[in-house]
Amino acid sequence: MDVLVQLLDATIRVSVPLLLACLAGLYSERSGVFDIGLEGKMLAGAFIGASAAAVSGSAWIGLLAAVGISVFFALVHGFASITHRGNQIVSGVAINFIAAGSTIILGQAWFRQGGRTPALSGDARFQAITLPGADAVKDVPVLGLLYSELISGHSILVYVAFLMVPFTWWVLFRTRFGLRLRAVGENPAAVDTAGISVTWLRYRAVICTGVLTGLAGAYLSVAQNAGFVKDMTAGKGFIALAALIFAKWKPVPAMFACLLFGFLDAASIRFQGMPWPVIGKVPVQLINALPFVLTVILLAGFIGKAIPPRAGGVPYVKER
Amino acid sequence: MSTPFAKLPAWADYGLIPVVNLLVAFAVAGLVVLLVGENPLRAAAILFDGAFGSGQNIAYTLFYATNFIFTGLAVAVAFHAGLFNIGGEGQAYISGLGVALVALSFDAFLPWWLTFPLAILGAAATGAAWAFIPAYLQAKRGSHIVITTIMFNFIAASAMVYLLVDVLKPAGSMAPETRTLLPGAQLPKLNWMLEALGMSVRSAPLNITFLLALALAFVVWALVWRTRLGYEIRTFGFSPKAARYAGIGETRIIIVTMMISGALAGMMALNPIMGDQHRMALDFVAGAGFVGIAVALMGRSHPAGIVPAAILFGMLYQGGAELAFEMPNISRDMIVIIQGLVILFAGALENMFRPTIQTIFASLSPRSVGLPAARGEGA
């Protein structure tokens, strides 16, 4: 039981950056702007977030800075792919490289700790929150244990991430902005004909992406870990992208996809090198590759069919 | 495809605009150098000297350029068919397996000039096979090739870690790498070429793979612009609808193009494994597959542009290593930034300066942009 609770607890912790990045991608891609630069924006957010938190001593300032830099990169992506109708994939690749290189160069130049930022402690880091009554119900079997160990005791960003799921659902499917956002990803010409600016709508979508990737980055370096280490996103942006496809660009399935991929990650760390019943020892690399393999299989239409927003990846030309 | 831009003279289209984009990319990189408190001009001077200052340095520059010619050509061939092969990194990595298996099997009893062609085949076949799966899935199942090739990069990385750590590592060794190759799989160096020009080279890994890369650049040019297949690839890339109407098989073009692309990326593995380290180590590709994207964009997907672009990135790699000695604030990761900026300005923002340049051209000589003299206001 304890092992299971620990495993699920670890799953939640490693799922959060995936979930935030995945929801970030959801806004952009639903509006018809492909974004493979989630990784880069998250990395930049993690670095600037940890730097600002270390210098100012406040986790909140770190969070703001992280969101700021991620929104900046999101706007660069928007400038290239919306305003200048550039190739969205190329732009995303560029952002990933710029972020990967500059976080190392600036980190070394500013802090001289081999690309690390100074370790954060106290107010400079988001601390675990004990939910009301968590200690009181600790001894109640099952439910009490789950509440006190699994649900309570995370940093605020964890709760924000999971609240973003219903919020995103509400925005996308119950607001005017959401309706237009989905429309612009399917048929921008129709939206344009209705007198709504495709450009401004898509810019708002990439700004949402920037905000959420900033949160994801800040979570990595200011909440989950006490500081930035180089290349700390380690492909999470791409796993989030995989989860987004796996979830067929829908918020609630996105949460389950991220939890599934997070669980695989947590389990591969927990059970590293342990023999499994029946199949024997599974190489850890196989488990690491599983999200990518699953996504390929899904994309190929062997389990269900993932159909991307119809106007995704195509820059909108107003007049022909 | 209708472009929303008016025509420019060819020299401006293929010369001026890429140069302007490149200059902007380097100017922004200069800002980053300023930000870490160093002088960008001095950095550029050290970098250039580090890349071309001596025969030794030139040999290293060309050694790195070899990798980028392969991966750049790989990305470019796919571009011509309108496909974005972002999986060059994975294709090159997995092809190490093809090279290593050939080399490890034959190095004891064959001379290098027999092992080399076999290893070329091994590399090309492995790379092509790894590219075949995403190509097949794109052509037959409609899964987006960009996403699949990204996923295949990660799958390749996991597979290679597993193979190197658990399978190929000789017993009793700690490092995750194959045994050292015997002379039968060690490629001859090309340092005599530079020495013939009067330069001295102490020891540099530049090897015969460089000549293979140049030969392939020519082959790719001939393939794309001088054969029936190349014509079909370009037609498909320009307009898949027109290609279908002309009876060009979509499935065949996607699969064949991607396999050529994968084979080219795969041959990159020859250079570090048989030419330099004489063993296959973890992560020997070291990002060369991604540099290929920048090289192809900069070289405008033409071999005549790709070779100089690859040499430029070779210069950045080699000069960047020297720069890291001189300026402790600037490590080799500076190249990653420059690479990103080149991809951004030469790729995603390639049309940013076009309207301005067109306006300038139109005001200087309206006829050069294909406008009647009366309407001189540009596009």
Q: What is the ipTM of this complex?
A: 0.86
Residues 141 to 170 of B: which have CB under 8 A from any A CB? 141-144, 146-148, 150-152, 154-155, 158-159, 161-162, 166
Contact B107, B182 (CB under 8 A): yes
- B159 and A285 within 8 Å at the Cβ level: the answer is yes
User: 10 Å Cβ neighbour count for B55?
Assistant: 19
B223 within a domain of the structure (yes/no): yes
Domain of residue B229, CATH code: 1.10.3470
Contact A144, A152 (CB under 8 A): no
Q: What is the pLDDT of residue A306?
A: 67
Measured on CA atoms in the order A117, A119, A121, A126, is the torsion positive or negative?
Answer: positive
Confidence of residue B373 (pLDDT cuts 50, 70, 90): very low
Task: Report which of residues A131 and B337 the model is more confident about.
Answer: B337
Q: What is the number of CB-based contacts under 8 A between chain A and chain B?
A: 150
What per-residue string of b and e applies to B223-233 under the rule 16 or more CB within 10 Å gives b? bbeeeeebebb
Indicate if the pLDDT at residue A320 is higher than 60.
no
Rg (CA), chain A: 20
- A97 and B343 within 8 Å at the Cβ level: the answer is yes
Indicate if the pLDDT at residue A296 is higher than 90.
no
**Per-residue tokens: B64:** 């790195």
With contacts defined as CB-CB under 8 Å, which chain A residues touch B297? 90
Task: Report which of residues B13 and A12 the model is more confident about.
Answer: A12
Q: Which of A79, A285, A303, A320 to mutate to test the interface with B (most CBs of B within 10 A)?
A: A285
Q: Give the tens place of pLDDT for each residue, B116-128.
A: 999 999 999 999 9
Q: Residue B164's closest chain A neighbor by CA? A: A285
B31 within a domain of the structure (yes/no): no
**Domain count across chain B:** 1
Q: What is the pLDDT of residue B282?
A: 87
Range of lowest pLDDT (A272-286, B81-95, B146-160)? A272-286
Mean pLDDT, range A141-153, rounded to an integer: 75
Confidence of residue B142 (pLDDT cuts 50, 70, 90): confident
Using DSSP, how many helices (H) and how many strands (E) does chain B show? 17, 0
Range of lowest pLDDT (A135-149, B159-173, B241-255)? A135-149
B311 within a domain of the structure (yes/no): yes
Mean pLDDT, range B128-136, rounded to an integer: 95
Q: How far is A64 from chain B (nearest CA, A)?
A: 21
Q: Is A154 helix (H, G, I), strand (E, B) or coil?
A: strand
Contact B115, B275 (CB under 8 A): no
Contact A217, A47 (CB under 8 A): yes
Give the separation between CA A195 and CA A281, rounded to whole angstroms.
Answer: 60
Contact B235, B81 (CB under 8 A): no
Residue with token string 């956002």: A181
Average predicted confidence (pLDDT) for chain A = 86
Indicate if the pLDDT at residue B374 is higher than 80.
no
- A80 and B344 within 8 Å at the Cβ level: the answer is yes
3-class secondary structure for B108-166?
Answer: CCCCHHHHHHHHHHHHHHHHHHHHHHHHHHHHHHCCCHHHHHHHHHHHHHHHHHHHHHH
Q: Give the tens place of pLDDT for each residue, A180-235.
A: 999 998 888 888 888 888 999 999 999 999 999 999 999 999 888 888 888 888 88
Range of lowest pLDDT (A23-27, A281-285, B28-32)? A281-285
Q: Which of B154, B327, B330, B339 to mutate to test the interface with A (most CBs of A within 10 A)?
A: B154
Single pTM value for the model:
0.86
B42 within a domain of the structure (yes/no): no
B14 within a domain of the structure (yes/no): no
CA torsion A253-A259-A264-A266 (nearest 10°) is 170
Q: What is the pLDDT of residue A277?
A: 64
B220 within a domain of the structure (yes/no): yes
The CA angle A145-A256-A93, to the nearest 5 degrees, is 125
Q: Give the tens place of pLDDT for each residue, A85-111.
A: 888 888 998 999 999 988 988 888 888
Which residues form the domain of B189?
60-329
Give the separation between CA B293 and CA A91, rounded to whole angstroms.
Answer: 11
Mean pLDDT, range A68-74, rounded to an integer: 95
Q: What is the pLDDT of residue A42?
A: 94
Q: Provide the residue count of chain A.
A: 320
B289 within a domain of the structure (yes/no): yes
- B340 and A99 within 8 Å at the Cβ level: the answer is yes
Contact A117, A51 (CB under 8 A): yes
Amino acid occupying residue B104: L
**What angle in degrees, to the nearest 10, is found between the helix axes of B55-80 and B228-238?**
70
Q: Give the tens place of pLDDT for each residue, B264-320.
A: 999 999 999 998 888 898 889 888 998 898 899 888 889 999 999 999 889 988 888
Indicate if the pLDDT at residue B3 is higher than 90.
no
- B155 and A241 within 8 Å at the Cβ level: the answer is no
User: 10 Å Cβ neighbour count for A110?
Assistant: 18
Mean pLDDT, range B205-227, rounded to an integer: 94
With contacts defined as CB-CB under 8 Å, which chain A residues touch B336? 97, 100-101, 104
Residues 222 to 261 of B: which have CB under 8 A from any A CB? none
Please report the domains of chain A, with CATH numbers, ordered by start residue: 2-299 (1.10.3470)
Indicate if the pLDDT at residue B367 is higher than 70.
no
B338 touching A, CB under 8 A?
yes
- B340 and A293 within 8 Å at the Cβ level: the answer is no
Indicate if the pLDDT at residue B197 is higher than 90.
no
Q: What is the pLDDT of residue B369?
A: 61
Contacts of B134 (CB under 8 A, 6+ apart): B87, B143, B145, B148, B149, B152, B258
Please report, in angstroms and rounded to a whole number, the separation of the first and last CA atoms in chain B: 17
Confidence of residue B21 (pLDDT cuts 50, 70, 90): confident
Q: How far is A254 from chain B (nearest CA, A)?
A: 17
